[in-house]
Structure 1
């Protein structure tokens, strides 16, 4: 009987040790299992201000406006982009910008050649590359860069008599125009408003080739550009 009870006690002790060992193994390995599940969760959503978004491939179209500095002149600028966004972190597409300083009035800094004053009008466009830093945060940065070409013109308004309507019409004529190549790097604060809408606040600088106008070769187009964009798409 004594041997039987010793055997029972030994068996019970061994079973308790096995249970404790299994419990210890579970407690030490379960955090690693959960960590592995988080590591392999590639569908973590992009956080937005008004909701979450799990998309990995998409694109967007944007419309923006701002101010372009043109060698001391301030011009209104409108911009449009059409781009594909790859893996949330890189946009590739095309962009175009048009500008005019007619809102600010005539310029009179070329009195010798254009004494009656003139406006500056033009546009440019090309390839857009836009790396995006930390796109899963509601507010993050992107770094758009445009490579392209464009043209700028010095213009004036003329009153032309319309013999059919018996009245004068105001029309814009180019006094002189010139082409240029452009490289425009920038930085943009991108705000995730919702799954399909983002707001961008950007500032960039235009590096261009020299243009030949009435005053000779000059870098009229070099300058800062600041503005805001509304982006619509799948990011």
Structure 2
């Protein structure tokens, strides 16, 4: 199911790239290069808040993104997100309450459809890596030290395609609301699987730049 969802999302992303290209007037369809005279590159930065679910716990993941908008339609940037609230769950080894910390980030590629319209579509894909840290503390002794402490950590790869609705407020500010699917692989945790770390997210963003 997870692989099917990822495949369908990537197909939609490729289709959106084609639609974005078709939005250009025919007279502007000559070949353009990133550094050519006809190219337009603008910078932007964004503050974003994602909500997701991990091990039946609601997780808040604030983040920052930034980069370049090329020829009004294509985004090349970076994005980073981290867990902000306490995430606790019952682990497998040992069978006690565990606490999860971590985050992820990487390269962001995107396509903007009809960017000059007040309301338009943005289709991003994040390709990167992250890390998760799990700890367990049973209780403290008379000296304030934890007893039966357990820790584990792991790096992992992540692919996160998504789709957003953006609203132009001014030429330099817009807001976005969207959804994405976080596909995590190659983690090596005992108390949490790749499927546990993967999942859907909802997002809200404030974007600033020369749009």
What is the TM-score of this pair, normalised by structure 1?
Answer: 0.64
More helix by share: 1
Report the secondary structure of 1:220's partner residue: helix
Contact 2:62–2:84 (CA under 8 A) maintained in structure 1 = no
Q: Look up the match of 1:14.
A: none
Cα displacement (A) at 1:211 = 2.0
Q: Look up the match of 1:106.
A: 88
Query: Are 1:202 and 2:178 counterparts?
Result: yes
Q: Structure 2: how far apart are the matches of 1:100 and 1:212?
A: 22
225 and 138 in structure 1: CA distance in 2 versus 1, 3 angstrom threshold: same
Report the secondary structure of 1:136's partner residue: coil
- Report how many aligned residue pairs link the two structures: 173
Q: How does 1:67-216 map to 2 (within 5 A)?
A: 67-102=51-86, 106-107=88-89, 109-110=90-91, 113-115=94-96, 117-156=97-136, 175-215=151-191
Q: Structure 1: how far apart are the matches of 2:202 and 2:145?
A: 34
Gaps in structure 2 of 5+ consecutive residues: 1-24, 29-39
What is the TM-score of this pair, normalised by structure 2?
Answer: 0.71
199 and 111 in structure 1: CA distance in 2 versus 1, 3 angstrom threshold: same
Gaps in structure 1 of 5+ consecutive residues: 1-38, 43-55
Cα displacement (A) at 1:158 = 8.6
Q: Structure 2: how far apart are the matches of 1:144 and 1:186?
A: 6
Q: Structure 1: how far apart are the matches of 2:70 and 2:93?
A: 52
Q: How does 1:17-36 map to 2 (within 5 A)?
A: none
In our comparison, the structure showing a higher alpha carbon Rg is: 1
Q: Structure 1: how far apart are the matches of 2:127 and 2:104?
A: 10
